[in-house]
Amino acid sequence: MTVQPPTPFPQPSDTSAQVAFDRGELGIILGLYGRMVAAGEWRDYGLSFLKDVAIFSIFRRTAEHPIYRIEKRPRLRGRQGMYSVIGMDGQILKRGHDLKTVLRVLERKLIRAVD
């Protein structure tokens, strides 16, 4: 009786083409997320890493559409900036080259929520 080796999991063909947030970017985003959770404004999040965009989706409740999306699109680095915050209706609330600057639009909402 011969034993066959286990079948390996399929590997993505080109992992370098997938866009993702790096550790520093996630630290900045999760810092804001934690403050908003503590204020009772946000309840859940989701991450999507696609070929041309990385998305951090923010939910007020788990079973609904995201109220905000933080997107990273490296192709827009030379134009308007690769970071953007998009509202529930698809409107771009802020776009820029610096993640902290772009996220200020959401921090203003935190200040209003605390007051």
Rounded mean pLDDT, 40-61: 90
Spatial separation of the C-alpha atoms in residues 33 and 10, rounded to whole Å: 33
User: pLDDT tens-digit profile of 19-34?
Assistant: 888 899 999 999 999 9
In which order are the strands placed within the sheet that holds 83-87? 44-49, 54-59, 68-72, 83-87, 92-96
CA distances from 44 to 41, 52, 63, 64, 81 (A): 10, 24, 9, 10, 26
Q: At 72, list the tokens.
A: 């990273």
**Residue 10 scores a pLDDT above 70:** no
Q: Would the pTM count as exceeding 0.95?
A: no
Rounded mean pLDDT, 49-58: 92
